[in-house]
């Protein structure tokens, strides 16, 4: 079950493919953003989802909404994934799985990361959620629709 819309997104700090630490409240201070959780780099569904975010990147960049991918993979794996698929956005390494748990992006019992996407407004309140493990393509369309329906940059 995803975190609820209109609730404050939990703050966190993770390593980033940018080479700098990423802290939601500091790195994205005053900015809307998309946090998308996914199971694993280089898997079929996760690669399709990342490439679709890449292909639609301009749509998000035009409204100044950064995309951040989060999985339990480490930074070296993320860097290879980012390079191979020419991903223009940062990937964050949640190797301990703590952030994944904070965002209810984990399948109970088996501990597998769920495919779930959150749209946060500039105050980092959750304003849209798409939770669908089996359909990676729906995440991007849902976020584009949410951005068009809401003014997330105010």
Residue 46 designated active-site? yes
Cα dihedral 118, 37, 17, 93, rounded to 10, equals 130
Q: Report the topology of domain 13-149.
A: Glutaredoxin (3.40.30)
Instruction: Please state the φ and ψ torsions of residue 113, each to the nearest 5 degrees.
Output: -70, 130
Is pLDDT above 50 for 154? no
Catalytic residue among 9, 28, 46, 65: 46
pTM: 0.92
Q: Bigger pLDDT: 142 or 36?
A: 36
- Residue 132 pLDDT greater than 80, yes or no: no
Q: Pairing between strand 33-37 and 67-71?
A: parallel
In angstroms, rounded to a whole number, what is the distance separating the alpha carbons of residues 35 and 40?
15
pLDDT at position 149 over 80: no
Give the position of tokens 């946090």. 35
Interval 102-120: pLDDT, tens: 999 998 888 889 999 999 9
Confidence of residue 136 (pLDDT cuts 50, 70, 90): low
């Amino acid at each position: 079950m995803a975190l609820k819309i209109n609730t404050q997104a939990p703050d966190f700090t993770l390593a980033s493919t940018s080479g700098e630490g990423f802290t939601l409240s500091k790195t994205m201070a005053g900015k809307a953003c998309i946090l998308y959780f996914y199971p694993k780099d280089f898997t079929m569904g996760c690669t399709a989802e990342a490439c679709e975010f890449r292909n639609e990147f301009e749509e998000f960049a035009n409204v100044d909404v950064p995309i951040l991918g989060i999985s339990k993979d480490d930074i070296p794996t993320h860097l290879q994934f980012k390079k191979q698929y020419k991903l223009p956005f940062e990937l964050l390494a949640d190797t301990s799985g703590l952030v994944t748990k904070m965002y209810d992006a984990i399948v109970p019992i088996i501990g597998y990361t769920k495919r779930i996407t959150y749209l946060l407004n500039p105050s980092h309140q959750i304003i849209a959620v798409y939770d669908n493990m089996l359909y990676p393509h729906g995440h991007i369309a849902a976020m584009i629709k949410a951005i068009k329906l809401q003014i997330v940059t105010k």
